Structure 1
Amino acid sequence: MKRAPAELYTNVMNEVTFLIESLGEKTDDKEVLEQQNQAKKKLNGVYKELQSSLEHLEKNAEWDVFTIAFYGETNAGKSTLIETLRILLSEPTKIAERKKYLSSSQAINHSENRLRKFEEGLSQINISFQIKAEQVNEKLENAVSQIRKLIAESELEHWKVDILDPLIYEKRRSSLYNFILSFFNPMYEQKEMIKAKECIVQLETEISNTKQALDQTQQELIEINEKWQKKIEVVSLNISELQEILSNEDREILKYTDGKIVGDGRSDYTQTVGEYTFSYESQKFVILDLPGIEGREEIVINEINDAIERAHVVFYISGKAAPPQNGDVKSEGTIEKIKRHLSQHTEVYFVYNKRVKNPIQLKKSLISEDEKMALKEVDDILSKVLSEQYEGHKVLSAYPALLSVGNFWKDRFCRNQEKFIEQLGSKEIILEDSRVKYFSDWLRTSLVDESKSKIFKSNYRKIAVAIGHAQENISEIQKQFNSLEKKLKLNEKYANRQFDEESNMLIQNLDNEAIKIVGNFKNRLRKKMYAEIDEEIDTDSFKAMFVKERDIAIEITRQQLEAGMKDILKEFEEAINEIVSKNERYTDELLQSFEGSAKFDFEFEPIFNIKSSGSITGTIASLVTGVMGVILSFSNPVGWIMVALAVVGMIISVGKNILGFFNHGYRSSQQKKATDENIEHMANQLSESFRDSIKDVHDPLMKGIEGVKDNLSFKIKYVNSMNLVFQEAERKLKKLSWEIDQEGMDKPYGND
């Protein structure tokens, strides 16, 4: 039985806390205990990261609704595919949106019909005015023409008057007869003048009447124009109002067109996670539209991480039938991002969304043989990266599918929709060839089947992966410690070999020095005694001289022994200190190198301030002092006298030889022989005594060297202790991760 979601994260964190607190074997050794505690402190970084991860999972985990994340590259068509699925799967907000689109479309049609009627009415008004205006203008033109004609006729009559008047005057003046006759019988000129004047009056009357008619016609034209202007103003106002209504309705319908969530080609178009809820046969599920992972990831990384932690299935969308690329030293590649983001998931699919922008690209086969081979390579690579979590690939083309089902209004989609339909025949053909309908049907049935189990399996795996990531981090630390420990041990082995070599060299040098000193003792004493013997001394003098020279030689030998041994021990001490110095210097360099190079992508504090377990300098000084004490213990004069007394009897026996008393040559030879025998005897005893003393040096020397070695190996023991704690932590976390993963495989908590 699974744990309830409310308890799961707290229980797991408690288990991890207990695990870390229980690390290390029980010990009474304060130093070992301190090292274990130090290791646990250094685990705090990993512990805090795991705690943060579990808190994030607890915050973002979805336990009730099956959630699908559409994840992938920038401009891969995630939003295009989701928009199409919203339509095909009748997503509630999309249904409401499309209803509003239909309503807005109907309102626009109504407004366009009204506008068309007003525009037709305006056209009729203009035509009617034009006809009337033409008629009135014709009357005006006729009146003006008539007035001009009448004025011309009037001017002609006035001209006649002007011509006839002087002629009449001249005829009257020519004779009295003519003058009188003109009153009773008008002259021809007078008659013509009367006619002209009568005609002028008549013409002026006609001109006046015609002008009045012209004025009336002009007024009629003004009135017609005013009426037209008023009608135009009313209709134009209606048209303007309808145009404003249509403009508003155009803006309004754009709110409800499909494809608004689709990018326009700009990088990072989607910067927040879009969420869409679906329902099919009482099965509820959610699709998340994630920002692209190949744009400016730093501005969307939190959105991506939260959505990934929430999702139970991930579709990795790509516009290329090619494996995602690895990164380099400077930048993280798509493969690394996929591994980092998706390794915690139980179901991951690769969706090849083929880019089709031209109708001739849309074929029933959709992808070529080369693309099929490339997709097999994609499957191989993602299987290696995601293991059994990778479920394979799907092939589709979202853009034509969206054109086949979308409502668009006077935009690029609308133009492309017309082009696709014109060339391919129908929306149904476009949708079928795009394969999105098959994908949609599979998603709402097979994919969401047993969603409750998938939810639990996914959420449990995320916890197991978080713990596994912590275990991997600890493993990485442990590898560093292990590598450091191996290097330190190799250096220790080399240093120990040098210590052993120097210890053997010390014994050899002491032995050589003893041989040299004994040789010096023999040569000096023999030389002195031979010189005295050559002076032909008697036996008693010989004896006294031998004792005297023996004592002098012994003292000189003692002094030489002490000085020589001190020089040898000084060289030994310097050699040991040099080995220790090189060892510590190299060890410190290793530790500093570890501290400087052990860089992790999680919080971890490398080794700091590993103290030594004691004073190595003091240990070396004690070693040399102890060895010196053993070596010089036999330089005590008392010891030398005991050696010297062993030869007295031999010297006396020489004096008892009567023959030697009378024969000086024989006596001299016997004295030299006795001298040689006694010197050799003393030298043998001195050599034996020296060898015994040098043997006595071995144990304190080895004990002291071991003390130096122990002091130098303290840091190795420290690193080893840390290493063991991290090994134990890695093992326990690995086991806990496996247990959580297995628990997620069981039947869900509660009713399915």
Structure 2
Amino acid sequence: MDLSSPQHIYAMVSAEVEAILRGLKHGSSDQNVSEAIGNARDVFDKLARELGADIASLQKNAKWEVFEIAFYGETNAGKSTIIEMLRIMLDEEGRRSNRQQFKQLQSEFNLTEEGIAAMQDRVEQCKMQAAELQAKYDKVLAAARQHSQQLRAQIEVLGQQVAQIKAAAPFWQRFIYLFKQLPAQKQARELEQALNDSEVQAAGSAALVKQACAEAQQQTAAAEDALARSEGQLKQLEQHADGEIIGDGRSDNTRITGRYEFTVAGQRFALLDVPGIEGSEQQVNDEISHAVEAAHAVFYVTASASAPQKGDDGRMGTLEKIKSHLGAQSEVWTIYNKRATNPAVLAKTVLVSKDEKDSLAALDATMQAALGEHYCGHLAISAYPAFLGVAECLVPGSTKANSRAKFLDAFPLETLLDRSSASAFRTKVASELVSNSEAKIVRSNFNKARQVVVTVDDKLTALRKETFKPLAKRLHTDAVDAEKQVDLAMSALKSRAQAIGEDAVDRFVTVTRERIYAQIDKDIGNDDFKEALERCLRQGQEDLEKEMPKLMQGALEKFQSEIAEVIERFKEHASELLEAYGSIDMGGLGERFELKIKIDNGINIPGLVGAVAGAAILLTNPAGWALLAVGAVTAIVGLAKAVWGAFSSSYRMSQQRKAANENLNRIEDSLRESVRKGLAAGWPQLEPKVEALMAAVQVPAEQVRQIDTILGSAQKQLKTIIKTIEKTGAK
């Protein structure tokens, strides 16, 4: 196969499969063969449509220019964290642009930890000042109120004194008090003036404090507004912060594959952040399928060192999903992303413990068994601490920022990247994995095209092994059993027919002898004897001709019933087999294929069994079997005629009985021979019909064998396509 371009691999595969289908469209003059070809074509057509859809999807999603690396696994395994770490370490363009905007916003609005702390302090100071002024204002008002109350109490006492003096004074004295103030009255007026002056002074002081309090409250509001604005700016800043793609633990955080392109040392590659594989929504499943179809290498990311588990109760487990999604990949790695939210996890210089190494060895063995030679092994990393170490653009005061400070307090950045294995992983991805990427891209895409054909080939193998071969074998076994039972029925028919013939001859001889003896006992002459013997023989022949068909018909009806029962049982069982095997699950197509084999094709029970019975009808017609008797009687009587008249009546009667017995004995032998010859002449007419019946019983098994043979031929052509892809992709 010479491709003008590697991208033409998809058109080549489609064309080759179409050629196989065209080859299956040639019919046959043999109806059974034609039906078998039709069945095989229907099976292959459905598989070919599945293959066509897969090839079209590959062609749509395949990447030929950029080496694509997919990060695949369950939610919370850390796929996005690893990718975000690499985006920062490898200075990915999108991350670089976001970091520039982050720093610009941070500088413009002073969104540093120090700046935010200063704003928070300012708010607290303003609140404290406002509270102090409010307390002072309240104190001034309370003191003024207390002083006023004291003066009012003194004035009231003086007033009471004046009233008492006036009440006790004589009339004339009271008249004088109208024009002359008492000392108490004079003192009270002085106190009233003092009260008025005090209240005016207190009001002035309170007003000054109140104004200062209002100004402090305004300053507090301004400080709080500035802090609130900074919080809004922090949200804006968060949009550009490192870690924007890292999820929050929700299972649906990543629903669309993220793609991040890099160029390192002249090598172009892209990292794909694939949705978590535990989702069941069609949208997520489609995203996963498209991503792995585009990928040329895949990292299976897991937060557990244990091997992926199988499913149960009909549900796919992680291992089955890995086999389904990654079976066509040419390079698959496992990343064990060790969780570490505390610096203590990285206290040791070795990231992976002995127990974890043992578990990872078992994981590698499981993955190797599932993916074969394309599985490359495992890598261990602790991505979150490494991400925190390189994440300079984090929102001040955020959980990530606080965690970063905690890790960097415990380790220098270089040490943190070494102990988390981030530095080694960066080298692995940006150097080793993407080296010779052009050849890897071709090999990966060819392997996926090959795997699509392999999948159909595997399904054909399973169909042939699990359906057509066992079905053909069981149908053949049942047909052989039916043949044996019909053979037994045929043998029984021959025995019964022979017995019926023998019994009929015995009855013919016995009855005829009784009849002729009755005539002889009447002392008849020889001529009368001859006539009577001929008459008795004819009557016996007539009786035989009437009796034999009924007896033979009964035997034939029994034979017909037996073979009809055998064939009906076969037909019933064959129908059950076809029902069990014929509804074939086409392996993920979402449909079932109904095997179209009609049991009545060539096994028309009434017709074939009727033909068998028709071929045997001559067994019921003994006409001519007894005709020799008349000639024999004439000859025997003729020889004895000359001497019979010379003897006595008793002697004549004994000679007549002797002549009758000799004739009957001769005729008996002749009849038995005629029965044997008649039956022998009938079997060759019957046996071909029985053989035709048995051939018809084998038709279903033969049809299934032919379907299997045709599919086997198509499968050989598929294997040729597979080898061609392997050979071309290896160039």
TM-score (norm 1): 0.84
Corresponding residue number in structure 2 for 1:471: 457
**Of 430, 437, 451, which residue of structure 1 is paired with 2:423?**
437
Distance, in Å, in 2 between the alignment partners of 1:431 and 1:228 is 56
Corresponding residue number in structure 1 for 2:588: 601
Distance, in Å, in 2 between the alignment partners of 1:736 and 1:291 is 33
SS at match of 1:244: helix
**Of 595, 598, 612, which residue of structure 2 is paired with 1:623?**
612
Corresponding residue number in structure 2 for 1:13: 14
**Identity of paired residues, percent?**
27
**Of 658, 664, 673, which residue of structure 2 is paired with 1:673?**
658
Distance, in Å, in 1 between the alignment partners of 2:436 and 2:227 is 54
Change (3 A) 1:24 1:115: closer
Distance, in Å, in 2 between the alignment partners of 1:464 and 1:16 is 13
Corresponding residue number in structure 2 for 1:181: none
CA contact (8 A) 2:9 2:449 kept: no
CA contact (8 A) 1:485 1:719 kept: yes
* Structure 2 gaps, min length 5: 174-179
Distance, in Å, in 2 between the alignment partners of 1:348 and 1:113 is 48
**Of 318, 324, 328, which residue of structure 2 is paired with 1:344?**
328
SS at match of 2:378: strand
2:111 partner letter = I
Distance, in Å, in 1 between the alignment partners of 2:517 and 2:135 is 171
Shift in Å at residue 420 of structure 1? 3.5
Corresponding residue number in structure 2 for 1:447: 433
**Of 363, 369, 375, which residue of structure 1 is paired with 2:354?**
369
Instruction: Check if 1:46 corresponds to 2:47.
Output: yes
**Of 582, 591, 594, which residue of structure 1 is paired with 2:578?**
591
Farther off after superposition, 76-85 or 535-544: 535-544
User: Residue by residue, what CA displacement relative to the aligned partner does 1:488-524 show, whole Å, maximum 9, x if unpaired?
Assistant: 1111111112222222222222211111111112212
CA contact (8 A) 2:133 2:210 kept: no
The total of aligned residue pairs comes to 704
CA contact (8 A) 2:468 2:708 kept: yes
Shift in Å at residue 349 of structure 1? 0.8
SS at match of 2:366: helix
Distance, in Å, in 2 between the alignment partners of 1:498 and 1:128 is 115
Instruction: Check if 1:702 corresponds to 2:687.
Output: yes
Instruction: Check if 1:649 corresponds to 2:638.
Output: no
Instruction: Check if 1:320 corresponds to 2:304.
Output: yes
Distance, in Å, in 1 between the alignment partners of 2:117 and 2:311 is 60
User: Residue by residue, what CA displacement relative to the aligned partner does 1:120-170 show, whole Å, maximum 9, x if unpaired?
Assistant: 995998799899999x979x99xx89x979x99xx89x99xx99xx99x99
Corresponding residue number in structure 1 for 2:314: 330
Superposition pairs of residues 116-155 of structure 1, within 5 angstroms? none
Corresponding residue number in structure 2 for 1:101: 102
SS at match of 1:275: strand
CA contact (8 A) 2:457 2:718 kept: yes
Superposition pairs of residues 365-444 of structure 1, within 5 angstroms? 365-406=350-391, 407-409=393-395, 410-422=397-409, 424-444=410-430
2:607 partner letter = G
- Superposed CA RMSD: 3.8
SS at match of 1:7: helix
Corresponding residue number in structure 1 for 2:229: 245
Distance, in Å, in 2 between the alignment partners of 1:240 and 1:498 is 102
Superposition pairs of residues 551-562 of structure 1, within 5 angstroms? 551-562=538-549
1:499 partner letter = V
2:698 partner letter = S
Distance, in Å, in 1 between the alignment partners of 2:700 and 2:649 is 76
Shift in Å at residue 296 of structure 1? 3.7
Superposition pairs of residues 560-579 of structure 1, within 5 angstroms? 560-579=547-566
1:272 partner letter = I
Farther off after superposition, 250-259 or 332-341: 250-259
Corresponding residue number in structure 2 for 1:518: 505
**Of 230, 236, 241, which residue of structure 2 is paired with 1:257?**
241
Instruction: Check if 1:732 corresponds to 2:717.
Output: yes
CA contact (8 A) 1:312 1:347 kept: yes
Distance, in Å, in 2 between the alignment partners of 1:556 and 1:237 is 135
Larger RCO (CA within 8 A; separation ≥ 6):
1
Distance, in Å, in 2 between the alignment partners of 1:715 and 1:333 is 40
User: Residue by residue, what CA displacement relative to the aligned partner does 1:73-107 show, whole Å, maximum 9, x if unpaired?
Assistant: 23222122222222222222222222333334442
CA contact (8 A) 1:118 1:235 kept: no
CA contact (8 A) 1:273 1:304 kept: yes
SS at match of 2:69: strand
Distance, in Å, in 1 between the alignment partners of 2:476 and 2:127 is 104
SS at match of 2:626: helix
Distance, in Å, in 2 between the alignment partners of 1:552 and 1:117 is 141
Corresponding residue number in structure 2 for 1:528: 515
Instruction: Check if 1:509 corresponds to 2:496.
Output: yes
Distance, in Å, in 1 between the alignment partners of 2:549 and 2:203 is 153
Change (3 A) 1:29 1:549: closer
1:621 partner letter = G
Corresponding residue number in structure 2 for 1:661: 646
Distance, in Å, in 2 between the alignment partners of 1:26 and 1:67 is 47
Farther off after superposition, 8-17 or 713-722: 713-722
TM-score (norm 2): 0.86
Change (3 A) 1:552 1:76: same
Distance, in Å, in 2 between the alignment partners of 1:132 and 1:557 is 148
CA contact (8 A) 1:23 1:728 kept: no
Task: Report which of the two structures shows the higher radius of gyration computed on alpha carbons.
Answer: 1
Shift in Å at residue 440 of structure 1? 1.5
Distance, in Å, in 2 between the alignment partners of 1:7 and 1:535 is 111
1:102 partner letter = K
Corresponding residue number in structure 1 for 2:177: none
1:408 partner letter = L
Distance, in Å, in 1 between the alignment partners of 2:249 and 2:365 is 30
Distance, in Å, in 1 between the alignment partners of 2:123 and 2:248 is 37
Corresponding residue number in structure 2 for 1:189: none
* Structure 1 gaps, min length 5: 171-192, 747-752
SS at match of 1:605: strand
Change (3 A) 1:112 1:623: closer
SS at match of 2:268: strand
Change (3 A) 1:36 1:214: same
Distance, in Å, in 1 between the alignment partners of 2:274 and 2:478 is 53
Distance, in Å, in 2 between the alignment partners of 1:127 and 1:267 is 48
Distance, in Å, in 1 between the alignment partners of 2:369 and 2:63 is 28
Distance, in Å, in 1 between the alignment partners of 2:612 and 2:43 is 37
2:449 partner letter = I
Distance, in Å, in 1 between the alignment partners of 2:281 and 2:207 is 73
Distance, in Å, in 2 between the alignment partners of 1:38 and 1:74 is 45
Change (3 A) 1:108 1:525: same
Farther off after superposition, 375-384 or 101-110: 101-110
1:701 partner letter = L
Shift in Å at residue 237 of structure 1? 5.3
1:388 partner letter = E
Shift in Å at residue 601 of structure 1? 2.1
Distance, in Å, in 2 between the alignment partners of 1:127 and 1:585 is 99
Change (3 A) 1:218 1:40: same
2:13 partner letter = V
Distance, in Å, in 1 between the alignment partners of 2:408 and 2:565 is 90
2:453 partner letter = I
Instruction: Check if 1:498 corresponds to 2:498.
Output: no
Shift in Å at residue 444 of structure 1? 0.6
